[in-house]
Amino acid sequence: MNSSADRSPREAGAIGRARAVAHSAALPGVVLTRPGMVAWVTGGMNPPIDRTATVDVVWAVVSDKRTALITTEVEAPRLLAEYAPASHEMEVLTVPWWDPEAFLQAASEYLGTSCADLGSDGHPAFAHDLTVPLTQARLALSEPEQEQMRSLGRDASGAVQDALWAWRPGDRDRDVAASIAAAVERVGAQAPVLLVGGDERVRHFRHPVAVGDRLHNLVMAVLVASRNGLHVALTRYACAGGIGAELTAGLAATRRIHRRLLAASSPGETIRSVMTELEAAYAAENAEGHWRQHYQGGPIGYAQREFEIAPTQTTSPWIDITLPVGCAVAWNPSVSGGAKDEDTYLTATETPEPITMTTDWPLADEQLPARPGVLVDAA
């Protein structure tokens, strides 16, 4: 059991930022209902019950002076016993699980106003959608959050790499995926994204989900892991007998693109400038416009990517966001033929810090930032 004492006290800073967002919008309070937002302001107090849910079973209600958690009568005893909300100056309001309006009524009564006067993280019952400023507010990870990201990064990369070290030609993709999933669950995390594919399926499909195939020459594993609401992402390759000239060249190209994206992701840079660099990086690899063929990644933290963005989305509310100190990014460039390059980095300093790389994996080359290579002849 994870007690509240086991987690870093990051709640006060997040609550203060949520209050500032509500204040900037001239609203008396904000109601957070999405799992990522609730995890942000509570320090990951409530692990997910339904991992597919877009609305949490715990809501956080933040006003100028008070903070409350709303949850069902089913979950309140566990929350009170295992996470001690009172120690974080959070009241707990309980509602019946069977009343669909109970959460809304409790939030409205707590803040003393109607839902029409309140902000939220996109819940349709509240009139003011503050998703963009709230997401921007959580991009700058605190020192405790960064340390939790590092820990999760070590565990996630270890799960993938150990499975690929153990892979043998003839193993099924589902067995490799099961090994990764078991390792992730063993350290109290989840895997919202887990792809394992091999051989020609990797070369033909950008997302080769495990289908029960035998893997003979090539394996690609992709993982997004989550714990306490935070996420990291990585991709690794292993092979037995070599990967061929096309994939070798493609991986080298994606690493060059990735390094340019990391250099462009320094604190103080805008997403617009990163997108400009992304286009230029692909063009330099004789792959102009090929970013359109696969999602390119971006800032990561309380979602597997905090927002989706592409170079053509010049009117997006995300395009002019400035990357803060302490932001995490997970770029994901790819080219046709099966090559992609993905890891999670913290941008707390001028040199990006890789947090999903370990020393027991081969490096692609001696260039910096370091990029992982292919585990050759894993068998």
Taking a C-beta distance cutoff of 8 angstroms, is the pair 237, 251 a contact?
yes
pLDDT tens figures, 76-94: 999 999 999 988 889 999 9
In this predicted structure, the answer to whether residue 7 has a pLDDT above a threshold of 80 is no
At 71 the three-state DSSP class reads: strand
CB 282 within 8 A of CB 329: no
| Sign for the pseudo-dihedral over CA of 349, 193, 186, 78 | positive
Angle of helix 143-166 versus helix 173-186 axis, rounded to 10: 150
The proportion of the chain whose per-residue pLDDT surpasses 90, expressed as a percent, equals: 90
Beta strands 67-72 and 91-95, pairing class: parallel
CA-based end-to-end distance of the chain: 38
The whole-number pLDDT of residue 1 equals 38
- When pLDDT is averaged across residues 187-211 and rounded to a whole number, the result is 97
Domains of the chain (ranges, CATH numbers): 4-138 (3.40.350.10), 143-376 (3.90.230.10)
Check the CA dihedral 78-122-295-322 and report its sign. Answer: negative
Is pLDDT at 378 greater than 80 in this prediction?
no
Kindly list the distances between the CA atom of residue 150 and the CA atoms of 1, 141, 157, 232, 356, in Å, as whole numbers in the listed order.
21, 12, 11, 9, 8
pLDDT for 241 equals 86
Which are the contacts of 257, defined by CB distance < 8 A and separation ≥ 6? 278, 281, 282, 285, 333, 341
pLDDT band at 12 (very low <50, low <70, confident <90, very high): low
Give me the numbers of helices (H) and strands (E) for the chain, helices first please.
Answer: 10, 16
In this model, does residue 9 exceed pLDDT 50?
no
Cα four-point dihedral sign 359, 360, 361, 367: positive
What pLDDT does 291 receive? Answer: 97
